Structure 1
C-alpha cells in the first residue's frame, strides 16, 4: 500500500465531527496525544527492559495512530501524503547525501559551470596557492601567490581584533573546489566568462561577488561562535537554507545543502591550519572536489 492509497482509505474512517475548527484541532491534538503515548511506552521499555514484552507491538500501534492523524490533517488541507514523503526524502538526500562516499564520487564532476567556455575563462581544475603573512608597523596583511605571482589584493582582518579573517580567501577556494562556483576566485584568477556578456554580468559580476562575500562573512560569524567548526560535524540547517536562498538566482542554486556543508567544513579545516601556521600552501582540486593544506609547497614537477 502506498501513502496515497492509505490516505484515501484513512479518510473513510474519519469520525471527527464536522464543526468549524474541530475538524482541524482534533487531529492535531490526537497527534500530540499519540506522541505522548509513544513516549510513555518508551519509558516503560527503559524501566522494564525485556520484561516489557509488548513493546514492539505497542510502538507499531502508536506509530500507526500517528500516521492516521497525519493523513487526516493532510487530507483536510488537500495535501498528498505521498508527495510530502517524496519531497521529504529529496530534502534529506539534499542535506545529508554527500556524507556517503559513493555519492561524493559519483558527483565528482557534477558542477562544471564553465564547461562550454574557453580555457582562459574556466577555473583551473587544480592549482596551488601559497599564503604568506606580512607584518609591518601595526598592520598584519595576507598575501597569496600562484607560481610566485601574487593574486588578489593584500588582505587584513578589517576588525578591531585579530580574528584571522584576512585568510578568508580560503573559503572562496573551497567553494571553487567543492561547488565549482566562486565569482570571487574567477575575478582573482582573471577567469571571468567575458565571451558571454550576460553570464559575465550575472554570474561573474559585482552582485554575484557581493553575494559570495556575504556568505563568507555570514558563515564566519556563525563559525566564530562555534569554535571555528573544530570538532563540529554538522552545520545549522537554517544557515544552509539562508545560503541557498542567497544564491537562488545564480548557477550555484544547483548546489545542494549537503554540497554547501561539505564546502564550508572542508574550507574551515584548511583555514584553521592556515591561521595557526600564519600561512602555508593550499591545494585546490576541482576534479577531486577537495581542498587540502600543506605546510611546505610541493616539490613535484
Structure 2
C-alpha cells in the first residue's frame, strides 16, 4: 500500500469529517496525544526493560495511530500525503546527502572564455602586517596583491580581517563567488562574465557581491557564538535556510544545504589555522571541491 492509497482509506474511517472546527481540532489533538502515548510506552520500556514484552507491538500501534492522524490532517488541509513524503525525502537528501556521496563541483562558467572563469586551482599567500597602529591582512597570488588590505572593522580583534578565506571556500566548494571574480584578474582584467551582460549584471554585479559579503558576516556572527565552529560538524538548519533564501535568485541556488554546510565548515577549518598562525598559504581546488591550509614553515 502506498501513501496515497492509505490516505484515501484512512479518510473513510474519519468520524469528524468536517474541514473546520472540530474536524481540524480533533486530529491535531490526536497527533499530540498519540505522540504522548508513544513516549509512555518508551517510559515503560526504560522502567521494565525486557519485562515489557509488548513494547514492539505497542510502538507499532502508536506509530500507526500517528500515521492515521497525519493522513487525516493532510486531507483536512487538501494536501497529498505521498507528495509530503517525497518532499520530505528531497529535503533530507539536500540537507544530509552530501555526507555519503561524492559529487562534482558546480561549474557555472564552463561556457565562458578562459579569462572569465574562476581558476580551477589557485594558491593565496596571506600575511598579517601592522601599519599605522592597525593590524591588516594582505593577500597575494604569485606575488601579486589581490583585493584590499583588510582590518577587523571592529572595536576588538576577532580575526574578521581574514574573512576572504570564506570567499575562497565558496569558490572552491560551491564554484561560486562574485567577490573572488571581482578580486582575481586574468591579464589585468577582472574575471567577471562581461561577454554576457545579463550574467555580468545579476550574477557578478554589485548586489551579488553585497549578498556574499552579507553571508560572510552573518555566518561569522553565528560562528563566533559557537567557538568558531571548532569541533562542529553540523550547522543550524535555520542558518542554512536563511542562506538559501538570500541566494534564491542566483545561480548558486542550485547548491544544496549540504553544499553550503561543507563550504562553511571547510572555510572555518582553514580560517582557524590562518588566524592562529597570523597567515599562511591557502590552496583552493575547484576540481576537488577543497580548500586546505599550509603553514609558511612547512612550505619553506
Q: TM-score range by the shorter chain?
A: over 0.9
Q: CA deviation at 1:136?
A: 2.3
Q: CA deviation at 1:19?
A: 8.6
Matched residue, 1:213: 213
Q: TM-score, normalised by structure 1?
A: 0.96
Matched residue, 2:268: 268
Summarize deviations over 1:97-142 as a string: whole Å, max 9, x none. Answer: 1111xx2x2x223x10000001110001011100000112320010
The alignment status of 1:231 with 2:231, answered yes or no, reads yes
The alignment status of 1:196 with 2:196, answered yes or no, reads yes
Summarize deviations over 1:213-251 as a string: whole Å, max 9, x none. Answer: 000000000110111111112111111111101101110
- After superposition, the Cα gap between the structure-2 partners of 1:297 and 1:191, relative to the gap in structure 1 and judged at 3 Å, is farther
Matched residue, 2:34: 34
| SS of equivalent to 1:157 | coil
- After superposition, the Cα gap between the structure-2 partners of 1:297 and 1:263, relative to the gap in structure 1 and judged at 3 Å, is farther
Q: Distance in 2 between matches of 1:128 and 1:159?
A: 28
Matched residue, 1:61: 61
Q: TM-score, normalised by structure 2?
A: 0.96
Q: Distance in 2 between matches of 1:199 and 1:239?
A: 27
Q: CA deviation at 1:166?
A: 0.3
Would the aligned equivalents of 1:174 and 1:267 in 2 still touch at CA under 8 Å?
yes
Matches within 5 A, 1:134-149: 134-149=129-144
Q: Distance in 2 between matches of 1:283 and 1:227?
A: 24
Matched residue, 2:187: none
Q: Distance in 1 between matches of 2:30 and 2:236?
A: 31
- After superposition, the Cα gap between the structure-2 partners of 1:118 and 1:298, relative to the gap in structure 1 and judged at 3 Å, is farther
The alignment status of 1:114 with 2:114, answered yes or no, reads no
Would the aligned equivalents of 1:281 and 1:297 in 2 still touch at CA under 8 Å?
no
- After superposition, the Cα gap between the structure-2 partners of 1:215 and 1:17, relative to the gap in structure 1 and judged at 3 Å, is closer
- Number of residue-to-residue matches in the alignment: 295
Would the aligned equivalents of 1:98 and 1:259 in 2 still touch at CA under 8 Å?
yes
RMSD: 1.4
- After superposition, the Cα gap between the structure-2 partners of 1:18 and 1:209, relative to the gap in structure 1 and judged at 3 Å, is closer
Within the candidate set 176, 182, 189, 1:187 is matched to 182
Matched residue, 2:121: 126
Within the candidate set 152, 167, 176, 2:171 is matched to 176
| SS of equivalent to 1:283 | strand
Summarize deviations over 1:148-184 as a string: whole Å, max 9, x none. Answer: 1111111111111110000000000000000000000
Q: Distance in 2 between matches of 1:256 and 1:38?
A: 34
Summarize deviations over 1:57-98 as a string: whole Å, max 9, x none. Answer: 100000000000010110011100000000000000101111
> Unpaired segments of 5 or more residues in structure 1?
none
The alignment status of 1:155 with 2:150, answered yes or no, reads yes
Would the aligned equivalents of 2:95 and 2:257 in 1 still touch at CA under 8 Å?
yes
Q: Distance in 2 between matches of 1:173 and 1:147?
A: 16
Q: Distance in 2 between matches of 1:63 and 1:16?
A: 21
Q: CA deviation at 1:10?
A: 0.3
Q: Distance in 2 between matches of 1:114 and 1:20?
A: 52
The alignment status of 1:258 with 2:258, answered yes or no, reads yes
Q: Distance in 2 between matches of 1:202 and 1:298?
A: 41
Would the aligned equivalents of 2:18 and 2:24 in 1 still touch at CA under 8 Å?
no
